[in-house]
Structure formats: structure tokens, C-alpha cells
Amino acid sequence: MSRWIDIGPAADLHFHPGAPVLAGGRWLAVFPLGDGWRAIDNACPHAGAPLCDGTLRDGKVVCAMHCWEFDLATGACDVGPQWNVPVHAVREIDGHLEVELPDG
Ligand code: FES
């Protein structure tokens, strides 16, 4: 089961390139892409750097601290699957973005 959390209008988020968002008690990094948005957990699993501050390249975010890469579609990490990050769907309803989180 999952739930959708309203994170407000996209215009209110500060993208650089991702926007840090607290949703359901969880810090996420929301990224604007050509076909919509993507959200992943914000803390890099290596040493905790905020992935919202990374660099976007070919559908991936490159962590600003040690350059590990995470695919924004799958959460896959280039270093190994044990470092993958959770990916969350994002949708727009009436001008507000909503992010899908697991229940609990
Ligand atoms: S903290 Fe992200 S790669 Fe090290």
C-alpha cells in the first residue's frame, strides 16, 4: 500500500538542481525532468550528502561529495545494488505536486 503526499506547487520549490522536500517525515530530493518530475530519498547512502545538490547527467544524479551516480528512474547506484536509493513517483494535481510514499 502507498499514499500520496501533497508537497505544494512546483513553483514554490527551490531546484538546484533538485529540491529538498520533507514529506511524510522523510527527506526527498525532487528533480524536474523533461517529462515531469522524479523523487528519490535525499540522503546519499554512502555518507549522507544531500542528493538534491548533485549534478544531473543523462537521467542520473551525481552526488556532489564523491560522485556516485544514481539513476532517477530506478534508483540504481553505479557502485552496486546494495547502495540503490528508493524512487518515488511524482504527479501533478491541480497545480500541486504529490509524491507517492509507502505506508508506514
Ligand atoms: S556521500 Fe554521496 S558519494 Fe559519498
Domain boundaries, the chain: 2-99
**Mean pLDDT, residues 50-75:** 97
51, 53, 55, 68: residue to mutate for ligand 1 pocket, most atoms within 8 A of CB: 68
* pLDDT: which is higher, 77 or 33: 77
Task: Kindly report the CATH number that applies to the domain delimited by 2-99.
Answer: 2.102.10.10
* Residues 90 and 98: beta-carbon distance below 8 Å: yes
Of ligand 1's atoms, which has the minimum distance to the CA of residue 48? 1
pLDDT in tens, 7-38: 999 999 999 999 999 999 999 999 999 889 99
Res 34: pLDDT = 86
Please name which of 33, 35, 23, 75 lies closest in space to residue 51, comparing C-alpha atoms.
75
User: Which grid cell is 11?
Assistant: 513553483
Query: Angle at Cα 59 formed by Cα 53 and Cα 64, nearest 5°?
Result: 25
User: Which grid cell is 65?
Assistant: 561529495
Question: pTM for the whole thing?
Answer: 0.94
Q: Would you place residue 104 in the very low, low, confident or very high pLDDT band (cuts 50, 70, 90)?
A: confident
pLDDT in tens, 80-89: 999 999 999 9
Rg value, the chain, Cα = 13
Q: Beta 36-41 vs 26-33: how paired, if at all?
A: antiparallel
